[in-house]
Amino acid sequence: MFDEATVRAVERIAARTKTEPAAWLAVAEVESAGRVFAVVGGKHEPLIRFEGHYFDRRLTGEKRDRARREGLAHPNAGAVKNPAGQAARWRLLARAMEIDAEAALESTSWGLGQVMGAHWQWLGFKTVKGLVGLARKDAAGQIELMARYVEKAGLVDELQRKDFSAFARGYNGPGFAKHGYHTKMARAYERLSGAKPVSAATGMLRMGSKGARVLELQVLLRRAGHAVEVDGDYGPATKDAVMAFQRAGGLAVDGVAGPETMRALQAFRKAPDERPGEPRVTEVPEVRDAAKGLGPVAIVMSIRDQIAELGYSLFGIEIETAQTVANGLLAVSGLIGAGLAVYGLYGWWRSRQTEEGDVRV
């Protein structure tokens, strides 16, 4: 989907990071839908997305009041809608720059890697204009900008392993699965390389994993002296804690909680059969809500979401598709009467499950 110049730029980055070009191309394709430039005012410009909640945070006083009045800033993410066309987005950015140019550039994601301008200092630029200039330079500049972010965020290992769940969790955030970033990248990789992406970390806990075993891991890490939130979500902070534990214990430092790391953490169990982090039945949110009683509408919506998540967990059905199927099931099955029981029972079952993060393609 990319021209030869873009592919050559990707290949240079792949060689530098000892990573398959197809892995980089898969990420770039998903992030940009295969486009490098848009024609804006007769010029080739990088693809952008303006984030009004970023802009809102960077303004104060009259500037923020004006931006809100003009529909350019809002405290909530997504409240400021981006036009479908890139030319219109660039006009939106120009309006924001009239209020505060630096804040507007920082509040925009740039290029095929959609790197936020706000990261300019973290990525080693002297000013936000330096980051923007690299994105606007050419395809190689956009690839370099994306590569800088991937390297700085410590995500090269994930690409080397072709571990797209872990990569998407680090690159796209905790909502990566809802939007299917990992499966889209895996499918793009398979099409580009002709091979399925099989990660060496399959079946192990790593970024993108969530659930009961992640809770257990986080509790053991805290007992080992590493500050990490016990939330069942294996994100960048948990990866950092795992790497610190591995480093201190003389283990291979890769941020993956594999067999050796889990064996070393057994020393922090209070008893051999202890299951640290497992909530008591009364602590499971769904059980607690069911005990309080929910209205019929809330029951239906909750069951729909649980069925959709079950469809994704067991069969790899995309969340939106699974929700549509779940709506149909609910419409014909008359589950409202048993809704509370089903809701609580499913929540209890789910609290004891783990999603390792393996991609299904």
Q: Has residue 177 got a pLDDT over 60?
A: yes
Three-state SS across 43-92?
A: EEEECEEECHHHHHHCCCHHHHHHHHHCCCCCCCCCCCCCCCCHHHHHHH
Domain ranges of the chain: 4-193, 210-268, 281-355
pLDDT at 337: 47
CATH number of the structural domain 210-268: 1.10.101.10
Q: What percent of the chain has pLDDT over 90?
A: 68
pLDDT in tens, 87-118: 999 999 999 999 999 999 999 999 999 999 99
**Confidence band (pLDDT; 50, 70, 90) for 326?**
low
C-beta atoms surrounding 258 within 10 Å: 18
Q: Has residue 314 got a pLDDT over 90?
A: no
User: pTM above 0.85?
Assistant: no
Q: Has residue 325 got a pLDDT over 90?
A: no
Q: Has residue 195 got a pLDDT over 90?
A: yes
Three-state SS across the chain?
A: CCCHHHHHHHHHHHHHHCCCHHHHHHHHHHHHCCCCEEEECCEEEECEEECHHHHHHCCCHHHHHHHHHCCCCCCCCCCCCCCCCHHHHHHHHHHHHHHCHHHHHHCEEECCCCEEHHHCCCCCCCCHHHHHHHHHHCHHHHHHHHHHHHHHCCCHHHHHCCCHHHHHHHHHCCCCCCCCHHHHHHHHHHHHHCCCCCCCCCCCECCCCEEHHHHHHHHHHHHCCCCCCCCCECCHHHHHHHHHHHHHCCCCCCCCECHHHHHHHHHHCCCCCCCCCCCCHHHCHHHHHHHHCCCHHHHHHHHHHHHHHHHHHHHCCCHHHHHHHHHHHHHHHCCHHHHHHHHHHHHHHHCCCEECCCCCC
pLDDT at 46: 96
pLDDT at 342: 66
pLDDT in tens, 148-166: 999 999 999 999 999 999 9
